[in-house]
Amino acid sequence: GMDMSINSSSSPSVVGKGDVIMKHQDKPPPSQWNHNQTLSLKIRKHVLKFLDAEKDISVLKGTLKPGDIIHYVFDRDSTMNVSQNLYALLPRTSPLKGKHFRTCAIVGNSGILLNSGCGKEIDAHSFVIRCNLAPVQEYTRDVGTKTDLVTMNPSVIQRAFEDLANDTWREKLLQRLHSLNGSILWIPAFMAKGGKERVEWVNELILKHRINIRTAYPSLRLLHAVRGYWLTNKVYIKRPTTGLLMYTLATRFCNRIYLYGFWPFPRDQDQKPVKYHYYDSLKYGYMSQASPHTMPLEFKALKALHQQGALKLTVGECD
């Protein structure tokens, strides 16, 4: 019950990836889930030893000035200069300063969301976090629309917006950004050198079109801190995924955390195929070959936390 360790060897109730995939005849009865407030608070305290979501969610204006040199977190030999535009978009105070929410939804991008009917439930949470500018308009029944924070890896500009090759793609990105009105756009700008121009394009677009969003650029130490926290809990991840980063941050300011769209497997519990993303045709091979993520390992850890009541993982339909 209260064991902080979420390694499978110390949590016999954990269902391994193989079990999830192979077991298809007898569906488990709808298991009842209870929130474990004590464990949630314990996790919050433990995470705080590694990072402070309020601070690490974004670098602030006071700590940088235009022209400052930053070494990329994953490409340490490469540097970038803090541009005027980036500086202009840095928040003065943390977008999460003093924030507390009764319930938060973290919406991952797995195809498991399709036909889930979870949109209404997701939108009913006090704070909704989404990943990588995933589209919502065409999928509202399953994913909802409420967005309080959305992440954007620079690679999204390439994968979902054709590197803004022409006016049509520019317009598409503009539309998406406008639709966020007021919410937080979280851009990991200091992680990998590959995103340099893409981050600059987006920054420029936001300023030029006076888009009403609050930008945030995670601190240089966030990734290592998150990794450190999980390693201490025997979850040996190489590089935390966006989803795991969001969960780890959310422990600070959310009382109850609900996860949707977390399912890094090509088949569901009934052996039906599941798309890697609910909105595009990206394949699973992409994940295993090109990505340093260890999603199934993360999933196992999250599943264990679900069973202990620290978070609620929804991998089926909503009522």
Q: Report the chain's C-alpha Rg in angstroms.
A: 19
Q: What is the smallest separation between the CB atom of 227 and ligand CDP, expressed in angstroms?
A: 14
Looking at 53, 73, 89, 244, which residue binds ligand CDP (CB under 6 A)? Answer: 244
**Is residue 262 a contact residue for ligand CDP (CB under 6 A)?**
yes
Q: Which is nearer to ligand CDP, 83 or 269 (CB)?
A: 269
Looking at 39, 73, 131, 315, which residue binds ligand CDP (CB under 6 A)? Answer: 131
**Is residue 110 a contact residue for ligand CDP (CB under 6 A)?**
yes
Q: What is the smallest separation between the CB atom of 120 and ligand CDP, expressed in angstroms?
A: 20
Q: Which is nearer to ligand CDP, 85 or 241 (CB)?
A: 241
Determine contact, residues 218/56, Cβ cutoff 8 Å.
yes
Q: Give the contact letters, 70-109, x = binds to ligand CDP (CB under 6 A), - = no.
A: --------------------------------------xx
Q: What is the smallest separation between the CB atom of 187 and ligand CDP, expressed in angstroms?
A: 12
**Is residue 243 a contact residue for ligand CDP (CB under 6 A)?**
yes
The residue range among 2-10, 119-127, 227-235, 240-248 that interacts with ligand CDP, by the rule CB under 6 A, is 240-248
Determine contact, residues 313/270, Cβ cutoff 8 Å.
no
- Cα–Cα distance, 57 to 94 (Å, whole number): 7
Q: What is the smallest separation between the CB atom of 66 and ligand CDP, expressed in angstroms?
A: 28
Please give the full DSSP string across the chain, using - where no structure is assigned: -------GGG-TTPPPHHHHHH--SSPPP-------HHHHHHHHHHHHTT--HHHHT---GGG--TT-EEE-SS-TT-EEE--HHHHHHS-SS-TTTT--EEEEEEE---GGGTT---HHHHHTSSEEEE-TT---GGGHHHH-S--SEEE--THHHHHTTGGG-SHHHHHHHHHHHHTTTTSEEE---SS-GGGHHHHHHHHHHHHHTT---EEE---TTHHHHHHHHHHHTT---SS--HHHHHHHHHHHHEEEEEEES---SSB-TTS-B--SSSSS---HHHHHHH----HHHHHHHHHHHHHTTSSEEE-S---
Looking at 216, 263, 308, 310, which residue binds ligand CDP (CB under 6 A)? Answer: 263
Q: What is the smallest separation between the CB atom of 67 and ligand CDP, expressed in angstroms?
A: 30
The residue range among 175-183, 215-223, 228-236, 256-264 that interacts with ligand CDP, by the rule CB under 6 A, is 256-264
Q: Which is nearer to ligand CDP, 257 or 295 (CB)?
A: 295
Determine contact, residues 135/176, Cβ cutoff 8 Å.
yes
Q: What is the smallest separation between the CB atom of 168 and ligand CDP, expressed in angstroms?
A: 23
# of chain residues touching ligand CDP (CB under 6 A): 18
**Is residue 217 a contact residue for ligand CDP (CB under 6 A)?**
no
**Residue nearest to ligand CDP according to CB distances in the complex:** 243
**Is residue 219 a contact residue for ligand CDP (CB under 6 A)?**
no
Binding residues for ligand CDP, rule: CB under 6 A, are 108-110, 131-132, 153, 241-244, 261-264, 276-277, 293, 295
